[in-house]
Amino acid sequence: MQNLLGGRPLATVADEALIHGVLVGVLHDFDAAGQPRIVVPGRMETPRVARAICALSPGQEGRQCALLFEGGDPVRPLIMGVLQDPVITLHAVGAATTTQEAESFSVEAERAIELRCGKASLRLSSDGRIELRGTTVVSHATGLNRIRGASIKLN
């Protein structure tokens, strides 16, 4: 039986071997003909040629990608796209604003900005005060560096 779109014969695959839904694989490399090859860790460890619906480049090798399979056939992978790097999502409340340019990200607020992660926090106040708290604090300064803590180790 011929696939009308691809011209390649459709494999006869037992229903239990079909792959339904999206799998996350890795863009392994490109073969000598420039075709992308993928692997799916824990499922398909040998690189397999895939078709892609998006532009791919050698600089994306090693990146995770979303995969579908034509007719569920595991030998006919389709790369749907390369997964993007994680991004930070900020929710601004009140008069806070965020801007992003080519190589910088800015957050502005009228009174204060606070970042928290576990036992660590950083607070920037509009009066110029910076509060840095954590179980261990490492600090470097070119000007005055005032440090308070239960114990202080310098250099």
What letter represents residue 25's amino acid? G
Predicted confidence pLDDT, tens digits, the chain (155 residues): 444 445 555 555 566 588 889 999 999 999 999 999 999 988 888 999 999 999 999 989 999 999 999 999 999 999 999 998 766 555 555 666 666 666 677 778 888 888 888 899 999 988 988 888 999 988 778 888 887 888 888 77
pLDDT score at 8: 52
Domain ranges of the chain: 15-82, 88-155
Give the SS3 label for residue 17: helix
Angle at 12 between CA 11 and CA 16, to 5 degrees: 120
pLDDT score at 52: 96
pLDDT score at 86: 62
Residues 109 and 95: their CA atoms lie apart, in Å, by 6
pLDDT score at 77: 96
| Domain 15-82 annotated CATH 3.40.50 | no
